[in-house]
Amino acid sequence: MARSNTIAQVNDVTRISAGTEIQGALVSNSDIRIDGVFEGDLVTSGKLVLGEKAVIKGNVMCNSADIWGTIEGTFTVGDIVTFRSGSSFDGSLKTIRICIEMGAEYSGDCTIIDEVEFKSISAEYMR
Per-residue pLDDT, 34: 98
**Which residues, in sequence order, are CB contacts of 7 under 8 Å at separation 6+?**
29
Per-residue pLDDT, 123: 84
Segments of 5-69 assigned E as strands: 13-16, 21-28, 31-34, 37-44, 47-50, 55-62, 64-67
Is residue 10 predicted with pLDDT exceeding 90? no
Average the pLDDT over 74-86 and give the result.
97
Q: Mean pLDDT in the chain?
A: 91
Is residue 82 predicted with pLDDT exceeding 60? yes
Of all residues in the chain, the percent with pLDDT exceeding 90 is 84
SS3 19: coil
pTM of the predicted structure, to 2 decimals:
0.88
Of all residues in the chain, the percent with pLDDT exceeding 70 is 90
Is residue 115 predicted with pLDDT exceeding 70? yes
Element (H, E) at 94: strand 88-100
